[in-house]
Amino acid sequence: MSLKTSQLTKLPKAEDRKLINKLRDVLHAIKVRDMTKLIKLLSKDDRPDLNYQVPLKRKILQRAQHKQWVSPLQYACEKGTPEMVGAILAAGAMVNIRPHSPLTYAICSFKVALVDRLLHSGASPIESGDPNDWDMAVAMNLKLRSDSPNEKQQQREIITLLCKAGCDVNMRMFAVWPLGSTKIFNQVKGTNRKSRAVYQPPLLFHVVSEGDLEMCRVFLESGAEVNAKDSLYNETALYVAMTSTKEENLPIVELLLAYGADPNQSKDGSSLLHLATEQGRTKTVEALVQAGANRAALDSDGHSPLHFAAANSNTELVKLLSLPQILNKPDKDGLTALHLAADRGNLATVQALLEAGADIDVETPVTKVSPLDMALHNDHQKVADFLKKMKRNNLLQSDHAVTHSESMPELLSKTRNTPTSPKKLVTDPKEENQSLKEKLRKQEEETELLRQENNRLKQETNQQKEEINQQKEDINQQKEEINQQKEEISHLKEQHSSQLTEKDKTVVSLKKELQKFQVIHYEENSKPVPMSDQHKQALTTNWPQFLQDLHHSVVVPPLVAGGILTPHMEEEVVKAYHTRRDRNNHLLDTLLTRGDQAFYVFRQALRKDPGSEHLAALLNVD
């Protein structure tokens, strides 16, 4: 179920200083990802009301532009984990709030698990106002603009979750440029954004133009209208699939046809079959024909798809698109497919058309130009000779001529093996015998030549075999030398390893021990470093004792000097809290995020102070 923006609850802003401090403690636990501290704050009897917004001291959210007010749930969706979001929701936080719902924050942060958690907790995607601000449009825009394959995959999973949640997959989203190849766009390309902003194609167009087969299947399974058209260019998803890429986009074309895409849709007077044939995309043409595309469709110039196949000399498509009713159909200029094939000079295409039954004697209505005239005009001698032979054989009344009952394909099959001039009939037996002897003599000579050529080829083959065997022997010898070198290298490595003395091993061990005691300086904005469980337990076990007896003035200066605390952290400890217990509590919370070096520096500072030696003794765990 989706919601309008007005149906979302607008959270009030916190004004009470005590409430603000409590909410900021929650935000801090989220920031450092301290789940233990967050549970501790949310389990108190006086826990803060989480349905308030608190001002942030500085810009820490990706969506922030000015001073930002944010609720704990919104902040957790930006910085936290699904477990933290679940804890905050369980503590009473509302999920459908504004401005910027938690679901929108999670989508913008590319967090798939968090989006899933929010949807299962009752979060409803926004589907009101400007369509480009809907949650589905936000996810789609992030996918389209991202250059990272990982981020694109995350947005694919988020979009799939939104589809399962019932988002409108037939919504229309603004696109700066057309997603297919459109002539109309070239006319408005120089206009301002307002004139192009009316181009808002359905979501399916965007994934089709990307060639994203996975998302196409998700949208179609979720109910996307496969034959929906955009209002500006009157295009469909199938048209976009065929024009958005230079390569053949066959998987998506087949998927759209399987979900009921209309194969006979047209644009500017041309059908999709015209377009695929003109582009020479054989597999796409086959898919369209199998889906029921009309092979006899004519464009505004009277061209059928067969005209385009013949003009492009695509013999395979000519065979696929040949139909009796269009084979001899002329276009507006009176040209048939055979005229165009003869004009291009492709003999195989001419033969395919004649085999299908094309009329060899067809002429243009006004100028009386035949296919033979087209071939002669363009100096295509082979095609011209072939057409002359076909026309001559159509008239011959010899033993190899065809009768009137024979079709053009039968004539063509005979002509391929028929010499140009008719054979002379031999009537005298002596002359016939002499002719046979002459043929036999020529055959014997040809046989002898072939035998000599065969012997020569055998000799060359034997010589090549010998060379190959010699090369194999050389390669085997090189392999043996390489194996010997490898064995020598392995032997040298073993000798080198054995030469490492016990003294060298001791030096390496001492260096490793020395690294443990090196001072680590943390950057101002460095990430939290976890403390070992042993040191963390020593602090948490004696927490009450430290809250009561610890003087921050004893340990804070050494911690700052050692690079454990930054000046900003020192200012927070000293000035932000009024009581010693609060200062000590905040100091200990901070130490837990600064690593084991913080523990060592803290314990050393206590040992040097005479009044804190009993506290240092509590930390003697190693």
pLDDT at 181 over 50: no
* 470 three-class SS: helix
pLDDT of residue 528: 61
Q: How confident is the model at residue 148 (pLDDT cuts 50, 70, 90)?
A: confident
Which residues face 98 on adjacent strands? 10
Q: Quote the DSSP letter at residue 295.
A: T
Contact 221/201 with Cβ under 8 angstroms? no
Tracing tokens 């920031």 back to the chain, one arrives at 31
CA distances to 258, 287, 291 from 296, rounded to whole Å, are: 22, 16, 15
Q: How do residues 202-255 score in pLDDT, each as one tens digit? A: 888 888 888 889 989 998 999 999 999 887 778 898 988 888 776 778 899 999
| Residue 412 neighbours by CB under 8 Å, 6+ apart | 351, 354, 355, 390
Average pLDDT over residues 530-537: 88
Average pLDDT over residues 118-143: 78
Contact 422/400 with Cβ under 8 angstroms? yes
Q: How confident is the model at residue 428 (pLDDT cuts 50, 70, 90)?
A: low
pLDDT at 273 over 50: yes
CA–CA gap between residue 3 and residue 340 (Å, rounded): 60
- Domains of the chain with bracketed CATH: 1-125 (1.25.40.20), 169-292 (1.25.40.20), 305-415 (1.25.40.20), 513-617 (1.10.533.10)
Higher pLDDT, 258 or 529: 258
Q: How confident is the model at residue 395 (pLDDT cuts 50, 70, 90)?
A: low
pLDDT > 90 in the chain, percent:
24
Give the total residue count for the chain. Answer: 622
CA–CA gap between residue 253 and residue 211 (Å, rounded): 10
pLDDT of residue 509: 66
pLDDT at 2 over 60: no
1-15, 543-557, 608-622: which range is least confident on average?
1-15
Backbone angles phi, psi at 70, to 5 degrees: -145, 145
pLDDT of residue 423: 35
pLDDT at 338 over 50: yes
Q: How far apart are the first and last CA of the chain?
A: 58
CA–CA gap between residue 174 and residue 183 (Å, rounded): 19
pLDDT > 70 in the chain, percent:
81
Contact 278/301 with Cβ under 8 angstroms? no
pLDDT of residue 190: 37
Contact 264/276 with Cβ under 8 angstroms? no
Tracing tokens 């296919």 back to the chain, one arrives at 371
pLDDT of residue 413: 56
pLDDT of residue 175: 61
Q: How confident is the model at residue 374 (pLDDT cuts 50, 70, 90)?
A: very high
pLDDT at 258 over 90: yes
Contact 531/595 with Cβ under 8 angstroms? yes
CA distances to 269, 373, 385, 387, 481 from 340, rounded to whole Å, are: 21, 11, 17, 14, 66
pLDDT of residue 254: 92
347-361, 392-406, 558-572: which range is least confident on average?
392-406
pLDDT of residue 337: 93
Mean pLDDT for the chain? 80
Q: What share of the chain is helix, strand, coil (3-state, %, to 5)?
A: 60, 5, 40
pLDDT at 417 over 80: no
pLDDT at 563 over 80: yes
pLDDT of residue 520: 43
Angle of the 250-258 helix axis to the 213-221 helix axis, nearest 10: 10
pLDDT at 459 over 80: yes
And the tokens for 598?
């913080």
pLDDT of residue 371: 93
DSSP string, 98-131: ESS-HHHHHHHTT-HHHHHHHHHTT---B--SSG
| Residue 426 neighbours by CB under 8 Å, 6+ apart | 432, 435
Contact 341/350 with Cβ under 8 angstroms? yes
Q: Which of 190, 183, 185 is nearest to 175 (CA)?
A: 185
Q: How do residues 55-82 score in pLDDT, each as one tens digit? A: 876 444 444 445 678 888 888 888 888 8
Provide the Cα torsion 348, 350, 355, 357; round to 10°. 160
Average pLDDT over residues 392-406: 52
Contact 314/282 with Cβ under 8 angstroms? yes
Contact 137/131 with Cβ under 8 angstroms? yes
CA–CA gap between residue 603 and residue 593 (Å, rounded): 16
pLDDT of residue 342: 94
Q: Could you give the residue ranges of the DSSP H alpha helices within 356-428?
A: 371-377, 381-393, 408-415
pLDDT at 422 over 60: no
Long-range contacts of the stretch 615-622 (C-beta < 8 A, 24+): 615/542, 615/545, 615/546, 615/549, 615/550, 618/538, 618/542, 618/545, 619/535, 619/538, 619/539, 619/542, 621/534, 621/535, 621/538, 622/534
Higher pLDDT, 476 or 401: 476
pLDDT at 526 over 80: no
pLDDT at 297 over 70: yes
Residue 477, CA atoms < 13 Å, CB-side half-sphere: 6
pLDDT of residue 519: 41
Q: What is the CA angle 444-446-447, rounded to 5?
A: 60
Q: Which of 270, 302, 312 is nearest to 288 (CA)?
A: 270
Contact 375/386 with Cβ under 8 angstroms? no
Greatest mean pLDDT among 279-283, 387-391, 421-425, 439-443: 279-283
Letter string b/e over residues 241-274, b meaning 16 or more CB atoms within 10 A of that residue's CB: bbbbbeebbbebbbbbbebebbbebbbeebbbbb
